Amino acid sequence: MNICFIMYPWDEIDPENDTSLALIKECAKRGHGVAMCTPANLTIRDSVTNAFCNVIGRMEKVPSTLKSFYNKAKLREEMLPLAGFDAIFFRANPPLDPIMLNFLDSVKDDVFIVNSLEGMREANNKLYTAAFGDAHSNIIPNTHVSKNKKYLIQQIKESKADKMILKPLNGFGGSGVILIEKSAMNNINSLLDFYISSGEGTSNYVILQDYIEGADQGDVRILLLNGEPVGAMKRIPGSEDHRSNVSAGGSIAKHSLTKAEKALCKQIGPKLVKDGLYFVGIDVIGGKLVEVNVMSPGGITYINKVYKSKTRVEEKVIDFLESKVLDQLQAFDRRTRLRKTVDEA
C-alpha cells in the first residue's frame, strides 16, 4: 500500500512526540510506501493533480523509537500523481486551505482520504461543535460566535457566571485561548478589539463560551477512530497557564472514560462517521464537548506513554486504514468483473 501524508514540513516535526511521525513510522514498519507533502506542494501537470513529495526510503529494519526513525529516515524528492496512491492521510495544521481542497477534489473518487474533504469543509473550525447542541442536548457549553463587539460584551454582562472563555475561531493548539472575568470589563473591551480586528481592514470571528467548572483542573483529549474511542488522556494545565494543551506547558495523565464521556462518544460518533471524519480528537471538560479536532488531531504518543500498552493507538489507526483501502480495492475488482460479464454478453 502507498500512502501520502499531506502535512506540515518534515523539519517542523517533534521527533519524540509527533502523532504524524508515529503514523508514518507504523506504515513504514508494515512495509508500506510513504510519501509526504505540504499543501503548498500540490500542483497540476498535464491536467493531473500531482505533488512535490518527500518519499521515505524503505528500511530493512525500522528503528524502534520515533527519534531514531526520524534521524535515520532517508528522503528523496519526487513529483508524484496523487491518484496513484492508495490512501491520503491529511495531517496539515489549521486553518484549512480551501484551494488545497479544490486540488484534492480531483482525486477523491480514486483515493481513500482521511478525513473526507466534505467532512473537513464542514468541521475544520470550532463551529462544528454547534452541530451537536440543540434544545434536547446538553453536551456542549453555552456558546456565542460573533465579530460584533457590542453583542459579545452584552453576552458577557448577561452571563450568570463570573468567568468565560474567549478564543479565535480558527486557532489551534490552545493558541489565543484566554480566560476572562467580569471584574475586568475594561480589559475585555480592548481584548475584543484585538481579537476581532485583523489590522488589514477585515474582522475576525471569535468564540465566547461559558466557563465550565473544573476546567482549571484540565480537560480530557479523546481520540476517536471510525466513531469509537481508541485512546484518552487527561491534560493538566501548568502552574502559570490556564490552558491544558501540552504545547502550552500542560502535563498528561492516565484517564479512564467516565460514563458521561462514553455516552458523549456514542452520541456524536455516528455523525462523525457519516461526515467521513474517521480520525478525530475531541476535547471534553466536565462531560461537555468543547472542541472537535479533525485536521491533525494529536495525542497518540502521549497516550502510548502514559498507558504503556502493548497495542499502540497508531496500530489501530493503520489497521483501519488498511481495511478501508482493501474494501475499496475489492469493490473496484468486483465492478470490473461484473462489467466484463456484461460487455461479453
Give the pLDDT score at 143: 86
The whole model's pTM is what? 0.87
Identity at 90, one-letter amino acid code: F
Mean pLDDT of 257-268: 95
pLDDT-derived band of residue 120, with 50, 70 and 90 as boundaries?
Answer: very high
Give every CB contact of residue 204 below 8 A, 6+ residues apart in sequence: 147, 168, 169, 170, 195, 196, 197, 198
Give the pLDDT score at 243: 54
pLDDT-derived band of residue 78, with 50, 70 and 90 as boundaries?
Answer: very high
Residue 323 burial by Cβ neighbours in a 10 Å radius (0-12, 13-18, 19+): exposed
pLDDT-derived band of residue 141, with 50, 70 and 90 as boundaries?
Answer: confident
Angle, to 10 degrees, between the axis of helix 313-343 and the axis of helix 300-307?
130
Domains annotated for the chain, with CATH where assigned, are: 2-115 (3.40.50.20), 142-210 (3.30.1490.20), 216-313 (3.30.470.20)
More confident residue, 325 or 203: 325
Can you read off the three cell numbers belonging to residue 43?
500542483
3-state secondary structure of 62: coil
Give every CB contact of residue 249 below 8 A, 6+ residues apart in sequence: 237, 238, 240, 241, 243
What whole-number distance in Å separates Cα of residue 272 and Cα of residue 122?
Answer: 11
Looking at the predicted structure, is the pLDDT value of residue 277 above 90? yes
Mean pLDDT of 170-192: 81
Looking at the predicted structure, is the pLDDT value of residue 275 above 80? yes
Give the pLDDT score at 133: 66
Give the pLDDT score at 127: 79
